[in-house]
């Protein structure tokens, strides 16, 4: 019986962690971006619009999302990818807490955040 309670506790903990991650992602909407690196500097102001995809080489879901992003990048110049294992500072500026995360930026402001794998049509709608 104790094992059942442990399993249930772990399951509830995972659900709580997922809820917290989604809540934190929603809070980044409306955030103004500043001090971005050279490649992403174009997104800071004006009428610029783009997608920033955050991934990690060790993330299994990222292995499904990355080919989708690469196809979008081949058609659009305003799609960027950031390996958080190499550029954690940029991920922090965007408020990224999990991978894969795709952020839509318009005029230097985060307007949408997608957690997990999303299909190409959904992402291209924001370009």
Asked if pLDDT for residue 65 goes beyond 80, the answer is yes
pLDDT at res. 104: 95
Q: Using a pLDDT cut of 70, give the percent of the chain over it.
A: 100
Q: What is the pLDDT of residue 84?
A: 95
Burial 91-108 (b: 16+ CB within 10 A, else e): bebbbbbbbbbbbbbeeb
Q: How far apart are CA 101 and CA 126, in angstroms?
A: 15
Over the stretch 7-45, which tens digit does the pLDDT of each residue have?
999 989 988 888 887 777 777 888 888 888 878 888 887
Beta strands at 109-115 and 101-106: parallel, antiparallel or unpaired: antiparallel
Question: What share of the chain in percent tops pLDDT 90?
Answer: 61
pLDDT at residue 86, as a whole number: 94
109-115 and 49-55 strand pairing: unpaired
Domains in the chain, please, with CATH?
2-124 (3.40.30.10)
The 3-state secondary structure of 38-90 reads CCCHHHCCCCCEEEEEEECCCCHHHHHHHHHHHHHHHHCCCEEEEECCCCHHH
Name the band, by pLDDT with cuts 50, 70 and 90, for residue 1.
confident
Here the tokens at position 67 are: 């080919």
């Amino acid at each position: 019986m104790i094992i059942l309670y442990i399993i249930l506790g772990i399951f509830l903990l995972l659900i709580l962690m997922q809820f917290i991650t989604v809540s934190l992602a929603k809070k980044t909407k409306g955030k103004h971006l500043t001090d971005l690196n050279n490649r992403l500097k174009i997104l800071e102001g004006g009428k610029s619009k783009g997608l920033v995809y955050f991934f990690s080489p060790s993330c299994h879901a990222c292995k499904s999302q990355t080919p989708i992003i690469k196809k979008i990048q081949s058609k659009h110049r305003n799609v960027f990818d950031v390996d958080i294992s190499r550029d954690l500072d940029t991920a922090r500026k965007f408020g990224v807490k999990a991978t894969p995360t795709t952020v839509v930026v318009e005029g230097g402001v985060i307007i949408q955040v997608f957690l997990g794998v999303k299909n190409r049509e959904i992402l291209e709608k924001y370009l």
